Structures are given as structure tokens and as C-alpha cells.
Homo-oligomer: A and B are copies of this chain.
Amino acid sequence: MTNPDIRDAIMTATYEALCEEGYSDLTAQAIADRTDRSKSALFYHYGSREAIVAEFIEYLIEGIELRVAKTRDRPALERLAAFVDWFLSEPDDDERAFHTALLELRAQAPYNDVFRAKLRESNDRLQRALEEILRDGLEEGVFQAHDPEAVAALLLAAFDGAQIRQVTLGRNEYLETIRAGTVDHVLADILKPDVEFPETVAFEFPPDERLRDSSTADERTERDTVR
């Protein structure tokens, strides 16, 4: 077992290295350079570059759970709006870099059993989170009768396709178009006739705090301000 602080440091370094180098060019050295540890110390903890990345997907999965937990006391409709917003908001530079690296990593999953298993788990976690929102909305009486499993799968596929097009084609307008289509054609079917899908979100889906490097963000703000 790895000490939680060391794990956090290595996972944050992996996140930063992925954002900056992408997945194909990622090296254990690039991760080590972002910690106070050596490459051999990294290998001592995890064994291989692949194992570090697999652990990183696991870390993201835990993050989803932590982030979803923070929103459970909100009304289902607010949670649905925040969930849609999470996937279909225009990404900032860090998010774009991360989505780009994640897509490279996902593209390797057909060749890599470990990545595939972890990505399935991540996908199942998202699917369950969205189903939970839909079920809660049924109980709260804001949604009409529907099959939460099928609707959650459709929404996640559409969000995923929209994000991948945004990243690979470099067109932010996709996100807005798919959001409008989703609201008009899928969510309109789910909401009770007297319920409107909120035009603005009541809250933002919480970020994964563990991966926020405040000092870097400050430096970045400073740099942007100077520019």
C-alpha cells in the first residue's frame, strides 16, 4: 500500500503530465519530475508507467464518487442541469488538454485489458450517478415515467460524442448544438409537461479538488493578467 499523501502527489503529477504531454508521449520521468521523487521510486510504488496510469483512472473514479456525493442533497432537476453542464460547457485550456489526453488513453483501451477494465468501471459509475438523478426526479415528481437506464445511456453517449467532436475537431459550437438538441428532444420527453429545464445552473458540478493545484492556478492567473 502506498501512503495516501505520496499517492496524491503522484496522481496530481500524473494529471499535470497528461495535460502537458498528452498520453502517447507520457513518460514515468515526466511524472517523477513533477514530484519530489525519482523515477525509480515511482516504479517501486507502481511497477510500470501503465500501472501508474491505471491507478490514475482508479483515482478519477474515486473522484467521481466524491463529487457526486457532494450534490446528493440538491433537487434532482438542479442535479440534472449541473450534470449536463459538466459535459457540455466550453472547456478551459486545462480541461481541453485533459480531455485530449484522456481520449488518447481511451483509444488504447481496445489493446489494453487493464485500461479497458478501469474505463468500464468509470463509465458504470457515471451511468449509475445519472440513473440516480433520474430515479430521484421520478420520486420527486418532476420527471415523467421513463426507463432511467436507457435514458442515462443515451445521454452519456450523446455527451461523450459531443465532447469528442469538440476536442478532435476543435469546434466549441458542437457543445451548444448538442445541448439544445438534448434539451429539446430528450429532456423534453422526461420532464413533466409543467416542468421546464433550467436555462442556467443553480450550482456547478464540483471539480475534483484533489487535482487542483492552487499555486499553478495562481501563477496562471498572474501570467494571464500580465498579458
Least Cβ–Cβ distance between A44 and chain B, in angstroms = 28
**A interface residue count range (under 10 / 10 to 19 / 20 to 34 / 35 or more):** 35 or more
Once the chains are docked, how many angstroms separate the CA of A161 from the CA of B174? 14
Q: Does A221 contact B (CB under 8 A)?
A: no
Number of this chain's copies in the complex: 2
Q: Does A123 contact B (CB under 8 A)?
A: yes
Tell me which residues from 95 to 144 in chain A have a Cβ below 8 Å from any Cβ of chain B: 96, 100, 103-104, 106-111, 116, 119-120, 123
Once the chains are docked, how many angstroms separate the CA of A164 from the CA of B165? 12
> Judging by beta carbons under 8 Å apart, are B157 and A165 in contact?
yes
Q: A103-B107, A169-B109 are in contact. Are A150 and B177 (CB under 8 A)?
A: yes
| Chain B residues, CB < 8 A from A100 | 107, 110-111
Q: A156's closest neighbor in chain B, by CB?
A: B161
Q: Does A47 contact B (CB under 8 A)?
A: no
Query: Which stretch (A2-10, A63-71, A184-192, A197-205) binds chain B?
Result: A184-192
Q: Does A158 contact B (CB under 8 A)?
A: yes
17 additional contacts, CB 8 Å, given A151-B181, A160-B165, A189-B189? A22-B111, A100-B107, A103-B106, A104-B108, A106-B107, A106-B168, A109-B168, A123-B169, A149-B177, A153-B177, A154-B178, A157-B165, A160-B161, A161-B162, A161-B164, A164-B164, A185-B186
